[in-house]
Amino acid sequence: MWFIDKPDEDGPSGVWGVDVSGGEPRFIADRVGVYSPEGNLIAYPEGGRTYIERVGGERWVAPSDGRAISFSPDEQLILWQAASSSANFDQRVVEVWVARADGSDPRRAAQLMGGGVSGWFPDNQRVLVSVREPERSDSSLAALNLADGSLTIIGRGARLRGGLLSPEGGWVAYQITFSGDPAQDGLWLARTDGTEARRLDVFGAYRWRSEGRLLVIPLEASSGSHRLLEIDAVTGQVRALTDPLVTPFRVAVGDWVPSPDGNHVVFVSADDHNLWVMDLP
């Protein structure tokens, strides 16, 4: 597990790693930035530009005019956004740009009203976006085809936020808040073809454990401990993974993440600000 730290006054600051079973952390790199999915490339800002560097090798300037980029799952493409404003999220115009990872062939893939890009689909050809359609007053969650700019609508709702793709791209979790309709407000799951949208009976912070299995730390303000739930996307069944009386914990400022194999969750503790790992059943 990697984390950013400066462990002591004499130690280097940068990316550190520690085995999930514990042990002494080891220094990984002093370069802090956005790593590609396989860790072969890293993007970082320097002098008003965004650089891409092959780890341990050459580097080049990304054609994003200093904007942050994201890598496609196969590390062959990069994507960035150019927004007309940072003040009004729902009314801004966002240009979505794509290029090869080496910076060649940059092109504008789409222009969106409101919202922006939330993540890549595993097929490397589509991205999840939030957008406001011209003829509608609410927001939409959609799959944007980068080849032709077409949109496949997945869900709609007033003040729709937080779209999160499942690992294999078959499901998306999102939330609707302060819509004015209590029946719409809450945490939702939908298939990415736009079918089987379901409002869940729980609300809180969420991460995907694996395809079709969503982890939720429910919002329970009066509780002295967090707890972890797992939701089956197909059935909507909720399973408690932790019991506060047996495994009390509190996550600091939403800083938690499941391991890629779904067997563990690591989090920063709100009590001692150390990194803790939970093994999941």
**pLDDT above 90: residue 51:** yes
For residue 214, give both structure tokens. Answer: 């969503």
With b for 16 or more beta-carbon neighbours within 10 A and e for fewer, the 56-80 pattern comes to eeeeeebbbeeeebbbbbeeebbbb
In whole angstroms, give the CA distance from residue 37 to residue 160: 27
How does the average pLDDT of the chain come out, rounded?
Answer: 93
Beta bridge partners of 50: 45
**120 lies in the same domain as 143:** yes
**pLDDT above 70: residue 34:** yes
**194 lies in the same domain as 209:** no
pLDDT of residue 159: 82
Label the pairing between strands 107-113 and 229-232: unpaired
**265 lies in the same domain as 209:** yes
For residue 121, give both structure tokens. Answer: 């689909």
Q: How many domains does the chain have?
A: 2
**171 lies in the same domain as 226:** no
Q: Determine the length of the chain.
A: 281
Other C-beta atoms lying within 10 Å of the C-beta of residue 272: 10
Q: Per-residue pLDDT tens for 187-222?
A: 999 999 988 889 999 999 999 999 999 999 999 988
Q: Per-residue pLDDT tens for 144-161?
A: 999 999 999 998 888 888
Task: Answer with the one of 151, 174, 199 that is the final residue of a domain.
Answer: 199
**119 lies in the same domain as 194:** yes
**pLDDT above 90: residue 46:** yes
DSSP string covering 245-281, please? TTS---EEEEEEEE-TTSSEEEEEETTT--EEEEE--
User: What is the average pLDDT across 244-254?
Assistant: 96
Instruction: Please answer whether residues 79 and 67 qualify as being in contact, where contact means their C-beta atoms are separated by less than 8 angstroms.
Output: no
Among the listed residues 244, 77, 214, 42, the one whose alpha carbon sits nearest the alpha carbon of residue 147: 77
pLDDT of residue 210: 98
What are the E-state strand segments in 64-179?
Answer: 70-71, 77-83, 93-100, 107-113, 116-120, 126-131, 139-145, 151-157, 160-165, 171-176
Q: Per-residue pLDDT tens for 55-98?
A: 889 999 999 999 999 999 999 999 999 987 666 666 789 999 99
In a domain, 277, yes or no: yes
pLDDT of residue 250: 97
pLDDT more than 90, % of the chain? 79
Give the range of the structural domain holding residue 130, as residue numbers without chain letter.
115-199
Q: What is the DSSP letter of 36?
A: P
In whole angstroms, give the CA distance from residue 149 to residue 234: 30
**Four-CA torsion 211, 213, 215, 220, nearest 10 degrees:** 140
Longest dimension (CA), the chain: 59
Instruction: Please answer whether residues 95 and 114 qualify as being in contact, where contact means their C-beta atoms are separated by less than 8 angstroms.
Output: no
pLDDT of residue 11: 86
**208 lies in the same domain as 280:** yes
**pLDDT above 70: residue 134:** no
In a domain, 51, yes or no: no
**pLDDT above 80: residue 38:** yes
pLDDT of residue 112: 92
Among the listed residues 111, 130, 104, 107, the one whose alpha carbon sits nearest the alpha carbon of residue 119: 130
| pLDDT band per the 50, 70, 90 thresholds, residue 132 | confident
**154 lies in the same domain as 120:** yes
177 against 147, higher pLDDT:
147
**136 lies in the same domain as 152:** yes
Task: Answer with the one of 149, 179, 199 that is the final residue of a domain.
Answer: 199
